[in-house]
Amino acid sequence: MTIVPINDLSRWDNSERDRIDGRIQAVVKSGHFMLGSNTKELESQLSRRLDGMNVMCVGNGTDALAVSILGLGLKAGDKIATVANAGGYATGAILRLGCIPILIDVDPDTTQMAPISLSAAIVQHPDIKAVIVTHLYGLMADITAISTITKEKKILLIEDCAQAIGASTDRREAGSWGDASTFSFYPTKNLGCLGDGGAVAFRDAVHYASGRRVAQYGWSERYVISDMNGFNSRLDEIQASVLLERIQTLQSNNDKRRAIVRQYADALPASHKMIWRDDASYVGHLAIVVGPSRAHIQQVLDAHEVGHGIHYPLTDNSQPAWQEVFVDASVPNCDQLATQIVTIPCFPSMTDAEIAQVCTALAAL
């Protein structure tokens, strides 16, 4: 038996690698490395998926969050609600821009933002200006309920789709429900490039224009800085060309990921559960097991040579850098889940033998 890895990006489909090589060579030959036709084409393909939203590519998913906040016109001191169990990416962006994060608890069954907790937070902080909802692990949050709340309360809605590209609810893709949405193309993501990459989508053309300025030095035109918050965040043409190749297999790879987790769910004893749904609202970014004893799950996985991890071991309110920010935070479900969750292997190039090895381990829990 060999160890089943959590992920393995060195496993290439040779024909895909040849096609990607061809695309990269074409960019190299063109001499056009930034803001060219590949990036434009990727933006328009993403826009078509996202109900015609205005899409701009940026350097990574973290910048995408910052650009979304600034593009929507949010200012230092504005309150932005987000969950505490999603790796701290949204909270980090909120804090970096001088905004105030309000932590929302999650539904313990889905691990996603609980609409009821969002409503309670809005009662407590009627001046919340925006919500960042992360579709965590590739599972869509209850976006119908959350978008109903934000519309009714006239609060801006940002969807962090870094882990959920291609997921949909009622045939509407993650990222097309809010005022803005953000994506990461980090190599391990469901749509990954060969380095860093990201994108932001804005519903409103004025917000989009503002986001464009922010991500290009604050320029309104070449060398004219009209936005105080400008920095530089762009996707390069080589990465865009890789993504144009890979976006063609996004759906089939998402289906493979979900099929793997379906086998895990079938193998698991009733004492444990997978965080997933057997429909298009889950795209299997991460396979998460929850059970009464994490140590037991880890022991059994080790005994069966199955790799594992934790996403994420610390909630935002437990991060050392943010201790003073969150003295009053109350997110008991996030805190509890952080002690229970275990991530197990899930990637499209897993072999049947590897999937069977994981299933045997799960059946032994």
Ligand X SMILES: Cc1ncc(COP(=O)(O)O)c(C=O)c1O
Footprint of ligand X on this chain (CB under 6 A)?
60-62, 86-87, 89, 134, 160, 162-163, 184, 186, 196, 198
For ligand X, give the closer residue by CB, 183 or 264. Answer: 183
Question: DSSP string spanning 158-218?
Answer: EEE-TT-TT-EETTEETTSSSSEEEEE--TTSSS--SS--EEEEESSHHHHHHHHHHHBTT
User: Measured from the CB of residue 248, what is the shortest distance to ligand X in angstroms?
Assistant: 21
**Which CB atom, from 38 or from 62, has the smaller least distance to ligand X?**
62
Distance CA 312, CA 328 (A): 21
Quote the least distance from Cβ 54 to ligand X, whole Å. 20
Please say which residue, 186 or 231, places its beta carbon nearer to ligand X.
186
Which residue's Cβ lies closest to ligand X? 61
Q: What are phi and psi of 180, to 5 degrees?
A: -155, 160
Nearer to ligand X, 225 or 321 (CB): 321
The residue whose two tokens read 């990921």 is 257
- Work out how close the CB of 183 gets to ligand X at its nearest, in angstroms, rounded to a whole number: 8
To ligand X, the closest distance from the beta carbon of 327 in angstroms equals: 25
Mapping DSSP to helix (H, G, I), strand (E, B) and coil, where does residue 156 land? strand
Q: What is the DSSP letter of 282?
A: B
Conformational region of residue 154, where left means phi above 0, alpha means psi within -120 to 50, and beta covers everything else: left
Given the complex with ligand X, which of 200 and 362 has the nearer CB atom? 200
**160 neighbors 39 (Cβ within 8 angstroms):** no
Smallest separation (angstroms) from ligand X to the CB of 86? 5
